[in-house]
Amino acid sequence: MKQSFFAVKTDKNAPHDEGSINAQLLTRGGFVKKESAGVFSFLPIGLRVLQKIKRIIREEMNAVDMQEILMPALIPKENWQQTGRDNVDIGFKTDRNYILGWSHEEIVTPLSKLYINSYKDLPVALYQIQTKFRNEPRAKSGLLRGREFSMKDGYSFHLDREDFQKYYDRVAEAYFKTFERAGLKSYKIEAGGGEFSKLMSHEFAVITPAGEDVMLYCSACGFARNAELRENEKEEPKKCEKCGSELKKDKCVEVGNIFDLATKYSDAFNLKISDKDGKQVVPYMGCYGIGVSRLMGTIVEAFHDENGIIWPKTVAPFQVHIISLNQDEEAKKLEKELEKEGFEVLFDDRDESAGKKFADSDLIGIPLRIVISGRTIEKNSVEWKERAKNEAENTPLSEVVNKIKSFYA
RNA sequence: CGGGGCAUAGCUCAGUUGGCUAGAGUGCGCGGUUUGGGACCGUGAGGUCGCAGGUUCGAGUCCUGCUGCCCCGACCA
């Protein structure tokens, strides 16, 4: 794609009223545009990133046999009344009998009555990637806490608690994989609190100074827990309670969570199935969330330097950024060749100074930059510069395509 | 929802004790010179000074109310 066709421009100034790194860099790079507190438009390259993240999530959810569906954002008030959640503060009320969906137990549970009738239909799990609305008293930190945001929410149904537990652990593994593929090291934290305080729930957290939470974690075995959880203890233990190694303490962002719902919602909506003996039993439920747009913000918080974003290869808006310094013909040839090989290429064909092109390239953060200039053409080569590295190197023109293939292998 | 800060060109900002036709940088348009780290010359367009009221001969500037945004806290199903 030619950069000159972009509807989006970079800006060397950060918005004066944005404090967080993700909001500043994503805005300056033309990924997002804030419309009001916690509400964003996603511009062409920002949407590309979001969709890469969604794709990873879909692949991992499909891999644990969740089926994708799409539920509405407008949820009838009577559904909320049935669970007593119609007056929860974070729900946006409308002037009709709807409340904007901030979670979807109230839709997925009655919906599932249509096709879950027997133990033979279980287990089953459904998920969606959809826009959630939460009337946060204080939206903040760019994409990290919004009022309107993209979320993956999944719900599973089981004959009994044992079957649920097996699936819960399977999803937890899928979550680790999902975040790892998005470039992030995540920790599973035992979480109490909230509505489900008596039931099991876990948060998935990523370490970054921009985080709102604090966790204690063991770098040896990966065990982690919320640092505030046991405030009453005068001194926090220094050793991991699982393996005895040193515990560390850091700020973190919650990017996912998984909950044991037990039969709370099945009961509320009178969801019942026949077991093997023909007896009516109440299915056991679990619920599984990932903050999709929050994950995008978290990635920026985790991967940037003073010049801009450094996207992980798996979620970058493009794979190769070609910069031409008065060598558009050669650059176009390379662009075509790479696109034929299936690579996503951004070609900076703009009539801008070299400095501006380099600065924009660093800001946008595509993992690999290829410069073609008079200097490189002389040597029948290109300049190879990885965004994550400081040094550039010369690469013969004839080897570039293969080298890119192995870079992305 | 409590505390603090901010609001002037698309963006970042300046604007003195209230005073004439509200400025700069950047971005944008046009013409030209440039191309290895935000290069330059010329020229042009771009404003309801957040909104509403008040004080005053006169308000971007002072007063009151409101709205929006950011930060800290509370909250976070």
A197-234, pLDDT tens digit by residue?
A: 578 899 999 999 999 999 989 988 888 888 766 555 55
Distance (Å, rounded) from C-alpha A298 to C-alpha A368?
A: 21
Q: A116-152 burial string, b = 16+ CB within 10 Å, else e?
A: beebeebbbbbbbbbebbbbbeebebbbbbbbbbbbb
pLDDT at res. A12: 87
User: Which nt is closest to the CA of A377, judged by C1'?
Assistant: B36
A146 CA, B75 C1': Å apart: 14
For strand B, give the nucleotides within 7 A of a protein CB: 1-2, 5-6, 10-13, 25-28, 34-39, 68-77
A225 Cβ contact partners less than 8 Å away, ≥ 6 residues apart:
A189, A190, A215, A216, A217
pLDDT at res. A382: 97
A14 CA, B11 C1': Å apart: 8
H or E stretch including A23? Answer: helix A21-28
User: Which nt is closest to the CA of A325, judged by C1'?
Assistant: B35
A45 CA, B32 C1': Å apart: 33
Distance (Å, rounded) from C-alpha A175 to C-alpha A125?
A: 15
pLDDT at res. A197: 55
A376 Cβ contact partners less than 8 Å away, ≥ 6 residues apart:
A327, A382, A383, A394
DSSP A15: P
A162 CA, B1 C1': Å apart: 42
Distance (Å, rounded) from C-alpha A289 to C-alpha A259?
A: 9
A13 CA, B15 C1': Å apart: 21
Phi then psi for A261, rounded to 5 degrees? Answer: -95, -10
User: Which nt is closest to the CA of A28, judged by C1'?
Assistant: B11
A36 CA, B9 C1': Å apart: 21
**Nearest CA to A346 among A56, A49, A59, A143?**
A49
Q: Is residue A389 within 8 Å of residue A405, measured between CB atoms?
A: no
H or E stretch including A107? Answer: helix A105-112
pLDDT at res. A372: 96
* Sequence-distant contacts of A103-108: CB under 8 A, at least 24 apart: A103/A132, A103/A153, A104/A71, A104/A75, A104/A128, A104/A130, A104/A153, A104/A155, A105/A155, A105/A261, A105/A265, A105/A285, A105/A287, A106/A75, A106/A79, A106/A80, A106/A82, A106/A265, A107/A71, A107/A72, A107/A75, A107/A79, A108/A71, A108/A155
User: Which nt is closest to the CA of A87, judged by C1'?
Assistant: B77
User: Which nt is closest to the CA of A35, judged by C1'?
Assistant: B69
A161 CA, B15 C1': Å apart: 69
Q: A235-251 burial string, b = 16+ CB within 10 Å, else e?
A: eeeeebeeeeeebeebe
pLDDT at res. A272: 97
Residues in chain A, pLDDT under 50: 193-194, 196
